[in-house]
Amino acid sequence: MKILITGGAGFIGSAVVRLAVARGHEVVNLDAMTYAASETNVASVSGSNLYSFEKADIRDRAALDRIFASHRPDWVMHLAAESHVDRSIDGPADFIETNVTGTFNMLEAARSYWVAQGKPDSFRFHHISTDEVFGSLPNDPQVKFTEDTPYDPRSPYSASKASSDHLVRAWHETYGLPVVLTNCSNNYGPFHFPEKLIPVVILNALAGKPLPIYGRGENIRDWLYVEDHADALLLVVEKGELGRSYNIGGENERTNLELVKTLCSILDTLKPAAKPYAEQITFVTDRPGHDARYAIDPSRIRSELGWRPSVTVEEGLTKTVQWYLDNEAWWRPLLERKGVGVRLGVQAAGETAA
């Protein structure tokens, strides 16, 4: 199949690109190459005759129409999005323009192309989203997000993704566009841009800097290894039921404090320092609107499609730490990009971004 993947030079998108090419799919990578993208994320497949790249912005409808007409994809996997919650607090406009308006443009370009092709039965539009659209859960292991959980977004980021989810469902119901949707838990792994918790902890630890944890570190997340996620996404676009959504989770809940302590322990083993890395842990003022707990019930994707994660969080974190130790040439230049290493999302209420 020929797959048009948006955001394919980003963290999750590049994992999908690499896996899709490895499995023999023809891939068109559409990416605007914003601050969190890197061409080196897909360097391992960039020389393949199965891979092509289009630098374009999903807010540019004319560019999308050209790319659809030129490449004639069988499937679309829409991952392009602004994704950092802290950045959405400081600058929500980019999140609305990209995640909402950009998704609208993608849907309209895909619909126009699908109709022009005679509405082929093989066409699929796969929209990739987040569990953050569901809001926050109580600290009760019996309560988890299902595909039927009502939406309750709490940040500009999650609200923009919730909006895009609703648009995708509306285009299916109104126009018959053949769509599938997925909502995932927190991803981690190789090529994770160094503004998110896990790479921040790894790189700060190596630099001897404080390891910042919001609040008391009691917030709980379900952690999903990015290569497991890529595997699940390709399964859903191929075999998922049209109009249906699938929750993808790692089945690895940890508090932020537990997660950071695990990372410190792994680093103590793989890269011993003069003192335990856990001594660098520092608690900082919590993020505004910080959801207490996310946890995915993956029963649907397990029972209908036979998928489940391949690694525990400890196994995945060990792989991740080793990857960062081995790939300083990748992450070192990224530390110079705007906002990286600076605490974002802490503006006073009513204050606007510069």
- List pLDDT tens digits, range 221-280: 999 999 999 999 999 999 999 999 999 999 999 999 999 999 999 999 999 999 999 999
Could you confirm whether 131 is annotated as catalytic? Answer: yes
Do 96 and 160 form a contact (C-beta atoms < 8 A)? Answer: yes
Secondary structure (DSSP) of 271-297 = S--SS-GGGGEEEEPPPTT--SB--B-
Find tokens 């700060």 and name the residue: 204
Residues 6+ apart with CB under 8 A from 273: 208, 267
Q: How far is CA 227 from CA 2, 130, 195, 309, in A?
A: 20, 16, 19, 9
Phi-psi region of 341 (alpha: psi -120 to 50; beta: other; left: phi over 0): left
Task: Give the C-alpha separation, 219 to 139, whole Å.
Answer: 9
Task: Give the C-alpha separation, 237 to 91, whole Å.
Answer: 32
pLDDT the model gives residue 286: 82
pLDDT the model gives residue 285: 87
Beta strands at 253-255 and 220-225: parallel, antiparallel or unpaired: antiparallel
Find tokens 């530390």 and name the residue: 335
The pLDDT profile of the chain, 354 residues, written as one tens digit per residue, is: 999 999 999 999 999 999 999 999 999 999 999 999 999 999 999 999 999 999 999 999 999 999 999 999 999 999 999 987 888 998 999 999 999 999 999 999 999 999 999 999 999 999 999 999 999 999 898 999 999 999 999 999 999 999 999 999 999 999 999 999 999 999 999 999 998 899 999 999 999 999 999 999 999 999 999 999 999 999 999 999 999 999 999 999 999 999 999 999 999 999 999 999 999 999 998 878 788 899 999 999 999 999 999 999 999 999 999 999 999 999 999 998 866 655 444 554 443 332
Greatest Cα pair distance in the chain: 66
Could you confirm whether 151 is annotated as catalytic? Answer: no
Task: Give the C-alpha separation, 219 to 228, whole Å.
Answer: 23
* From 26, 82, 132, 228, active-site residue: 132
Task: Give the C-alpha separation, 197 to 201, whole Å.
Answer: 6
Could you confirm whether 57 is annotated as catalytic? Answer: no
* From 131, 195, 227, 297, active-site residue: 131
Count the neighbouring beta carbons within 10 Å of the beta carbon of residue 288.
Answer: 15
Q: What is the pLDDT of residues 146-179, one digit of tens each?
A: 999 999 999 999 999 999 999 999 999 999 999 9
Q: Which fold has domain 2-188+224-251+295-310?
A: Rossmann fold (3.40.50)
Count the neighbouring beta carbons within 10 Å of the beta carbon of residue 93.
Answer: 11
pLDDT the model gives residue 345: 47
The packing angle between helices 256-270 and 313-326, to 10°, is 50
Question: What does the block give as tokens for 239?
Answer: 């075999």
Q: Per DSSP, what are the bridge partners of residue 213?
A: 283
Q: Half-sphere exposure (CA, 13 Å, Cβ side) for 36?
A: 19
Residues 6+ apart with CB under 8 A from 232: 182, 184, 246, 248, 301, 307
* From 157, 214, 225, 324, active-site residue: 157
Locate the DSSP E strands across the chain. Answer: 2-6, 26-31, 51-55, 75-78, 124-130, 179-184, 186-188, 211-214, 220-225, 245-248, 253-255, 281-284
Query: What is the sign of the dihedral through the CA atoms of 189, 250, 100 and 60?
Result: positive
SS3 14: helix
